[in-house]
Amino acid sequence: MKSLQELAEIREKMKGKVALREGQNGIRVVVGMATCGIAAGARPVLNTLVEEVEKQGLSEKATVSQTGCIGICRLEPIVEVFEPGKEKVTYVKMTPEKAKQVVSEHIKGGRPVYEYTIGEK
Amino acid sequence: MIRSHVLICGGTGCTSSGSPAIREHLENELKKQGLDEEIKVVQTGCFGLCALGPIMIVYPEGTFYSSVTEEDVTEIVSEHLLKGRPVERLVYNPKSEEAPHGVTSLSETPFYKSQMRIALRNCGVINPEEIDEYIALDGYVALGKVLTEMTPQEVIDLVKASGLRGRGGAGFPTGTKWQFAANNEADEKFVVCNADEGDPGAFMDRSVLEGDPHAVLEAMAIAGYAIGGTHGYIYVRAEYPIAVKRLKIAIDQAREYGLLGKNIFGTKFDFDIDIRLGAGAFVCGEETALLTSIEGFRGEPRNKPPFPAVKGLFAKPTIINNVETLANIPQIIVKGPEWFASMGTDCSKGTKVFALGGKINNTGLVEIPMGTTLRQILFEIGGGIPNGKKFKAAQTGGPSGGCIPEEHLDTPIDYENLKAIGSMMGSGGLIVMDEDNCMVDVARFFLEFTVDESCGKCTPCRIGTRRLLEMLNKITEGNGTLEDLDKMEELCHYITNNALCGLGQTAPNPVLSTLKYFRKEYEAHVVDKRCPAGVCKKLLHYVIDPNKCTGCTLCARRCPVSCIAGKVKEPHVIDQSKCIKCGACMENCKFGAISKK
């Protein structure tokens, strides 16, 4: 270790990787991962969400986790976004591409992607 | 891409209850179910709740699983890790009103809520074998700051201002100790970490070394810079294999990153650390004996003065700090002395780690701010006494400490208060005793320990403790006299005043404190020839109540020395002259007809 700079670089690189262990803070992104969800393709959606959150440097702001059956199996894969003080947003029939968009527009930008939510046709 | 971390405790407690097998099984199962790319298994240090090990925590949810077995692994993987449904039956349920469903945030459980983790901050959070994880949580920032922004004197002043005192027992102010060593001119100075934790039931230092070894290395380097030393030794007992292994890994990693070695952070400061293994002699926890042992001689204490800060290891100025003391240092540098001094009492700042053991529900490791009362530690955090038994005494400070009775439970814990009530802070062992413990027997147990561990160099300790033990044995066997009690007290004071080192000076404490608070129990042994708690075998009699005995013959068949006689369906009788007082008859009687008196 020749400089503080070097130490800071390792710290920045690793920080996002251990941030997961600080528990749930800020935004919670939950993917329905019951049998119905998995069958409809929830796994790649979940993985994309995790990947994008880290790639876009949002690890300290949002955590991605799974949950059981949300109840509307015909609309799986379902992704719900919980933000403190705001109403829950439910996305339905998700795909990895849609998930990417949700991360950059909703989680990062703060604007829900209404066209994928449950209310829209 | 990793979406979840599964933390498995790799401390000694959970390792002995099977966590390595669970980890291996989990890794295989994840691979089998195709989740190994998404879920990371992390081996950590101690979470503290050793009674419920093996412990596993799943993040990001923070689900806390306790008493996990290998058979549970498949279910955890397929239910929780794949489908997001926590396995409810394994979730730690502290039975509190706030958490009726059990799935609760760890920090909200009664066990963790009142704790404040500074020395243990990374234990159970990071993988101790990965230096990068320590760095991610601000590791080595303090060393960087000290080397590039501060003079050695500024570092010492900062430690002084924090009010940090030695966590090994006596509570000497750490900054002052560093100052002494810094003031002494010498061509070489040493930093020694005392990791020779020897009190029965104490495992604070072990847990820090196992869970966060880099914090100790970083602190030693900081201490080296402050006093002008370039070499450090960690004296750790060989009975701590996991701690030794992780320390070695940590030292190698730190060297590789150049955080130990030459020109650290591009400055002119060089520092390196070696490990020295102790063979488990209790006396080597005494600082001068420890130094003698590092030098390669038999571990025997030396006279003080000269103090080690003047003439220590290889006759050079040396500072010796305990593991827990050192673990506080990086945090004090990063967060400032005011932050540290804001916790605790007037003369005792910061937090203290205690190892809870004995008759207590939550056996394990807790870190609390100084000034917390014993009652809070035992009944709120510790979960109280099992089986509805009544609290009798708490023993702090191991063989050097004393027993604290119920009337002092509300004393705020700090160095001075504990001393005032006849005990001492010690390294942090906290053994709880209930109504079934005989206090004379407890004192005898500790004396037996010190007699074994006395190095024999000075007479008061070598012979004095032995005479004390003989008198205690005499009392527990029912042959004691009231005169013995007074003689014992006199001898105690003599040993305290005349022994060479801390071991002897504090050895009589268990006797003195029990004599002070539980004299009635001693008198019952001496005058009534009776052990009120029913522990001292020689004073014990098993008796069959003829009104309750149905003559089922079970006791007679169970008795290993065949001392119970009687006809079928008629009351039986125990022959007291043959009885070895094993208690097998009482355990087996289905009618509660046998009692001990």
Pick from A15, A50, A65: CB nearest B1: A50
Pick from B125, B136, B259: CB nearest A14: B136
Spell out the residues 6+ positions from residue B76 whose beta carbon is closer than 8 angstroms to its own: B26, B56, B58, B65, B68, B87, B90
Q: How far apart are CA A73 and CA B338, in angstroms?
A: 56
Pick from B60, B132, B266: CB nearest A65: B60
Pick from A23, A38, A67: CB nearest B59: A23
**Is the Cβ pair B133, A14 closer than 8 Å?**
yes
Nearest CA-CA distance, residue B343 and chain A, Å: 23
Q: Of chain B residues 234-273, which have a CB less than 8 A from chain A?
A: 257-259, 263-266
Asked if A73 contacts A35 with a C-beta cutoff of 8 angstroms, the reply is no
Retrieve residue B366's tokens: 């807790």
**Within chain B, which residues score under 50 in pLDDT?**
none
Is B41 near chain A, with CB under 8 Å?
no
Indicate if the alpha-carbon torsion angle B294, B296, B297, B303 is positive or negative. negative
Domain presence at residue A15: yes
Quick one: pLDDT at residue A54? Answer: 85
Which string of DSSP letters, residue by residue, matches B277-341?
EE---GGGGSHHHHHHHHTTS------SSSPTTTS-GGGS-EEEEEHHHHHHHHHHHHH-HHHHH
Q: What length is written for chain A?
A: 121
Query: What is the number of structural domains in chain A?
Result: 1
Closest residue in B to A6 (Cα–Cα): B265
* A14 contact residues in B (CB cutoff 8 A): 132-133, 135-136
Q: How far apart are CA B261 and CA B267, in angstroms?
A: 11
Buried b (16+ CB within 10 A) or exposed e, B43-72: bbbbbbbbbbbbbbbbbbbbbbbbebeeeb
Pick from B83, B133, B259: CB nearest A18: B133
Tell me the per-residue pLDDT of B319-372, one tens digit each, with 9 for 90 and over: 999 999 999 999 999 999 999 999 999 999 999 999 999 999 999 999 999 999
Tell me the per-residue pLDDT of B95-112, one tens digit each, with 9 for 90 and over: 655 555 555 567 777 888
Q: How far apart are CA B302 and CA B495, in angstroms?
A: 17
Quick one: pLDDT at residue B441? Answer: 95
Domain presence at residue A59: yes
Domain presence at residue A65: yes
**Is the Cβ pair B144, A50 closer than 8 Å?**
no
Retrieve residue B409's tokens: 């439970």
Residue in A24, A47, A31 with CA at minimum distance from that of residue B83 = A31
Residue in B564, B265, B580 with CA at minimum distance from that of residue A8 = B265
Nearest CA-CA distance, residue A109 and chain B, Å: 22
Taking only Cα atoms into account, the Rg of chain A, rounded to an integer number of angstroms, comes to 16
Does pTM surpass 0.95? no
Q: Of chain B residues 366-405, which have a CB less than 8 A from chain A?
A: none
**Is the Cβ pair B265, A4 closer than 8 Å?**
yes
Nearest CA-CA distance, residue B80 and chain A, Å: 8
Retrieve residue B164's tokens: 């940090």
Which string of DSSP letters, residue by residue, matches B508-525?
THHHHHHHHH-HHHHHHH
Quick one: pLDDT at residue B156? Answer: 97
Neighbours of B206 (CB within 10 A): 25
Q: Is-cis flag, bond preceding B241, omega within 30? A: no
Q: How far apart are CA B263 and CA B242, in angstroms?
A: 30
Q: Of chain B residues 142-201, which have a CB less than 8 A from chain A?
A: 144, 148
Nearest CA-CA distance, residue A31 and chain B, Å: 9
Asked if B504 contacts B460 with a C-beta cutoff of 8 angstroms, the reply is yes
Is B108 near chain A, with CB under 8 Å?
no
**Is the Cβ pair A7, B140 closer than 8 Å?**
yes
Quick one: pLDDT at residue A61? Answer: 84
Pick from A1, A49, A63: CB nearest B258: A1
* A51 contact residues in B (CB cutoff 8 A): 1
**Is the Cβ pair A18, B85 closer than 8 Å?**
no
Domain presence at residue A93: yes
Asked if B586 contacts B571 with a C-beta cutoff of 8 angstroms, the reply is no
Quick one: pLDDT at residue A24? Answer: 59
Tell me the one-letter amino acid at B245: K
* B264 contact residues in A (CB cutoff 8 A): 1
**Within chain A, which residues score under 50 in pLDDT?**
121
Domain presence at residue A17: yes
Asked if A16 contacts A60 with a C-beta cutoff of 8 angstroms, the reply is yes
| Residue A19: CATH number of its domain | 3.40.30.10
Domain presence at residue A85: yes
| Residue pairs between chains A and B whose CB atoms are closer than 8 Å | 100
> Domains, chain B, ranges and CATH?
4-106 (3.40.30.10), 131-340 (3.40.50.11540), 351-434 (3.10.20.600), 439-526 (1.20.1440.230), 541-596 (3.30.70.20)
Domain presence at residue A121: no
Q: Where are the alpha helices (DSSP H) in chain A?
A: 4-19, 35-40, 42-55, 96-101
Is A26 near chain B, with CB under 8 Å?
no
Q: How far apart are CA A58 and CA B431, in angstroms?
A: 46
Complex ipTM, two decimals? 0.79
Quick one: pLDDT at residue B93? Answer: 76
Is A40 near chain B, with CB under 8 Å?
no
Nearest CA-CA distance, residue B296 and chain A, Å: 33
Element (H, E) at B374: helix B374-375
B509-517 and B439-453 helices cross at what angle (nearest 10)? Answer: 170
Domain presence at residue A46: yes
Closest residue in B to A42 (Cα–Cα): B83
- What is the domain range of residue A106? 4-116
